[in-house]
Amino acid sequence: MAQSGSIPLIKTSNLVKKFGSFTALNGVNLEIHPGEVHALLGDNGAGKSTLIKILSGVFPATSGEIEIEGKPIHFASPRDASDAGIGTVYQDLALNALTSVTRNFFLGREITSFNSPFGLMKMREMDRIASEEMAKIGISITDPEQAVGTMSGGQRQTLAIARAIYFGAKVLILDEPTSALGQKQQMEVLKTIKRVQKLGDIAIILITHNEIHARLIADRFTFLSLGEVIGSGTAEDLAGDDIKTLMAGGAEIGDLAKELETV
């Protein structure tokens, strides 16, 4: 749960992103606090993907400010965002199905003798670290040399999450982590998210279309529509059909039904 009175790990102020004459984000203000699961919700085209790509260094903002732990910061690349403690797990997971769990876990950051990329890799040490880090968030790997392609979808998500945390993520951005999974694997991922939260101060931004999943694990919510924040608050602030209404871009279900009647 978010720590009371804490300085936000991430704060955006009047964030704007334009692509030519099209405005994808129009003055977005957002605060993400240590230890919270913060659900970022909205229909397709709401601006969720653009926002997380700015936070993860893929796109520069057109205007506005991003602060990390109270300090203004500008990302020139995804590496800058990663170095600042923002770990992003996209839907494609950036995993190679044909190589081992360990090789995917380190992926260009291998531990070598002589501290050189051309040195001999310390496979035994890397196997141990990959196994231990995944076990911390609920997945026991009997053989870290197994190919990632033999793992379940939920296990792959856990691998990508464990990797981001091990390499310094203070903020973990999860882009639709349950969208392509069956029901059992979806629950695996939700449990993983709760275990990550229990580790302490890591903040989790959860992008999802699944209202039930958001209700189950999110502490706070921010709703986007057409590039603007149309609502935000804690789980306790939301009642009844509020989430459904806000996810529909603020439209009342009754209004939508009347619109359909005109067809």
Domain assignment present for residue 132? The answer is no
**How many domains does the structure of the chain reveal?**
1
Q: Considering the domain boundaries, does residue 219 fall inside one?
A: yes
Residue 224 has pLDDT above 90, yes or no: yes
Are the CB atoms for 87 and 172 separated by under 8 Å? yes
CA distances from 40 to 72, 210, 260 (A): 22, 11, 28
Closest CA to 106 of 95, 119, 92, 114: 95
For residue range 14-47, what is the model confidence (pLDDT) as tens digits? Answer: 999 999 999 999 999 999 999 999 999 988 889 9
Residue 124 within any structural domain of the chain: no
In the three-class reduction of DSSP (H, G, I as helix; E, B as strand; rest coil), residue 67 is classed as strand
- Confidence (pTM): 0.84
User: Is residue 201 very low, low, confident or very high in pLDDT (cuts 50, 70, 90)?
Assistant: confident
> Looking at the domain assignment, is residue 26 inside a domain?
yes
- For 144, residues 6+ apart whose C-beta sits below 8 A from its C-beta are 100, 101, 102, 105, 127, 130, 131
Total residues belonging to the chain: 263
Give the domain range for residue 88.
10-93+168-261
Asked whether residue 211 is assigned to any structural domain, the reply reads yes
Q: What is the CA radius of gyration of the chain?
A: 20
> Does residue 116 fall inside a structural domain?
no
Query: CATH number of the domain that 23 lies in?
Result: 3.40.50.300
Residue 120 forms part of a structural domain: no
Is 206 part of any domain?
A: yes
List, in sequence order, the alpha helices (H) in 180-241: 183-198, 211-217
| pLDDT tens sequence across 166-183 | 999 999 999 999 887 888
